[in-house]
Amino acid sequence: MTTHQPAPADRLEDSAAVEALLRRSAAAWAAGDGSAYGACFTADATDITYVGTLYRGGAEIGRAHQALFDSFLKGTSLDLDLVDLRFHGPDTAVAVTRGDVRRNGAKAGRPGKLATYTLVREADGRWRIAAVQKTRRKPLMEAVSFRFQPATRPAQD
């Protein structure tokens, strides 16, 4: 997992903890462990999948993902590349990642999803995911938009 901009000097420990949390969630996914995946979330977290399903709470997120890991997502891993991490106060951060779900052993390609995570440090001192919203990239639609309206192209891509 790489960060495209360095963390502020006073947030290095928090940055490392957030990155470790995201790695832990990806490891739980790769292991097909819904309970461990759900434990990465707060009790009242929200998870909006790229198909639009809304899950609420770490327990439900873990339960639903276990069913997915046992079926549609069996033998997959979650590749994440941390694009941006910003802290908003001492106990809140927003992370943007690029990534994709891959069949284990599949060659990595261009990431097809973006996800925005809201992360919080809970009373026990551990960082957890309070919300995540995933979006599937549509490169063709982006290219058409950028071609016909160049001002829509982001300054950094």
Does residue 3 form part of some domain?
A: no
Q: What pLDDT is stored for residue 13 in this prediction?
A: 94
Residue 4, pLDDT score = 53
Contacts 24+ apart (CB under 8 A), 137-140: 137/111, 137/112, 137/113
SS (H, E, C) 13-72: HHHHHHHHHHHHHHHHHHHCCHHHHHCCEEEEEEEECCCCCEEECHHHHHHHHHHHHCCC
Contact 143, 157 (CB under 8 A): no
Domain count, the chain: 1
On whether residue 25 sits in a domain, the answer given is yes
Q: Is residue 1 in a domain?
A: no
157: in domain? no
Domain holding 124: CATH number? 3.10.450.50
Tell me the CA distances in angstroms from 78 to 26, 73, 115, 137, one per residue in order. Answer: 5, 10, 12, 16
Residue 111 domain flag:
yes
Residue 79 domain-assigned (yes or no): yes
pLDDT digits (tens, 9 = 90+) for 34-47: 999 999 999 999 99
- Partnered with residue 84 across adjacent β-strands are 96
DSSP string, 110-140: S--EEEEEEEEE-TTS-EEEEEEEEEE--HH
> Averaged in consecutive runs of 10 residues, what is the pLDDT profile of the chain (157 residues)?
62 95 97 98 94 93 95 92 94 94 73 91 97 81 75 69
d(Cα 79, Cα 14) in Å, to the nearest integer? 21
Domain extent, residue 67, equals 9-152
pLDDT, tens digit, 9 for 90 and up, residues 122-138: 999 999 999 999 987 66
